[in-house]
Amino acid sequence: MRIARFSIDGNVAFGAVEGDKPDELVLDIIKGIPFADFELSGTKVPLSKVRLLPPVLPNKVVAFGRNYAEHARELGNEVPAAPFAFFKPSTAVIGPGDAIQYPSFTEDLQHEAELAVVIGRMCREVPRERVADVVLGYTCALDVTARDVQRREKQWARAKGFDTSCPLGPWVETDLSLQDAKDLTIQLTVNGEQRQLGRTSEMIHSIEDLVVNISEAMTLLPGDVILTGTPAGVGPLHVGDEVAVTIEGIGTLTNKVVKRG
């Protein structure tokens, strides 16, 4: 099931996306929330009539860096022996179609396409064999990075945590199994030109590794998001660029870069 979060006539709701053709997609409005038992209402609205929002509002976004060897090498970094985590605040999250605001404190904004894991239940110290049980589904993510700030400040809070630096969407795909998610194509384009192309099978540390690692340290809540790293090919973004992340079996997340007002 593809679960979207959307607004219509000032109201916010979740809905199941139905249909195959992009111009014929409809939302069956969900009774309740996707983190508990819910029913489909049978009330349907065309996707074209709503505004898609970030599919979840995470309490925290836990991101893992340098999880693809070629990406680590292209930036001159060593491949970490253990998962390497950092955080993005909830204020960094935006949805499909929302604007990425180019911060005034950077001159080198860059894109990183990522598979995002959405947590479905409160959990801590998750054993490897139970990881699939705590995952609601998967969505597309863009880790927008102020690369010059990252290099200069030697830590990543401002470089990766600024407002609008974490687009998510367009929806959460719940029908992908954990095994499916281990070998998906990830592609990123800027203004229609391919910049990144890789597969999740290239991850150094698996989805299980990442969930086990971070849940050893902290409680994960429903709607929390784990970013799993980016394949090689990261590059610059400029004001006016349209950037699109497409992940096999999920969909496409598209955002435009604007000057911060």
CATH number (domain holding residue 96): 3.90.850.10
Check whether residue 68 and residue 98 sit in a common domain: yes
Give yes or no for a contact between 103 and 162, defined as CB atoms under 8 angstroms apart. Answer: yes
| CA contacts within 13 A on the Cβ side of 35 | 17
| Whole-angstrom distance, CA of residue 78 vs CA of residue 66 | 8
Strand partners, 142: 113
pLDDT surpasses 90 at 237: yes
- Tens of pLDDT, residues 31-40: 999 999 999 9
How much of the chain is in helix, strand and coil states, percent to nearest 5? 20, 45, 40
pLDDT surpasses 80 at 247: yes
- DSSP code for 180: H
Percent of the chain clearing pLDDT 90 (strictly above): 92
Check whether residue 35 and residue 95 sit in a common domain: no
Check whether residue 196 and residue 67 sit in a common domain: yes
Check whether residue 184 and residue 126 sit in a common domain: yes
Check whether residue 113 and residue 33 sit in a common domain: no
Question: What number is the average pLDDT over the span 218-247?
Answer: 98
Check whether residue 95 and residue 32 sit in a common domain: no
CATH number (domain holding residue 14): 2.30.30.370
CB atoms near residue 238 (< 10 Å):
10
Strand partners, 79: none
Check whether residue 194 and residue 235 sit in a common domain: yes
* Residues 6 or more apart whose Cβ sits within 8 Å of residue 211: 117, 126, 131, 134, 135, 220, 226
| Whole-angstrom distance, CA of residue 213 vs CA of residue 184 | 22
Burial class (CB in 10 A: 0-12, 13-18, 19+), 28: middle
pLDDT surpasses 90 at 77: no
- Tens of pLDDT, residues 101-120: 999 999 999 999 999 999 99
- Tens of pLDDT, residues 194-220: 999 999 999 999 999 999 999 999 999
- Domain count for the chain: 2
Residue 140 is predicted with a pLDDT of 99
pLDDT surpasses 90 at 74: no
Chain mean pLDDT for the chain? 96
Specify the DSSP element, H or E, that contains 67. none
Check whether residue 102 and residue 230 sit in a common domain: yes
Residue 106 is predicted with a pLDDT of 98
Phi/psi at 136 (nearest 5 deg)? -75, -45
Strand partners, 100: 257
Residue 167 is predicted with a pLDDT of 99
- Tens of pLDDT, residues 55-70: 999 999 999 999 998 8
List the domain range (segments joined by +) for residue 107.
61-259
| Whole-angstrom distance, CA of residue 108 vs CA of residue 106 | 6
Check whether residue 92 and residue 217 sit in a common domain: yes
The model carries a pTM of 0.97
Specify the DSSP element, H or E, that contains 248. none
Strand order in the sheet with 145-146: 145-146, 109-111, 235-236
pLDDT surpasses 80 at 242: yes
Percent of the chain clearing pLDDT 70 (strictly above): 100
Q: Which of 157, 169, 195 is nearest to 115 (CA)?
A: 169
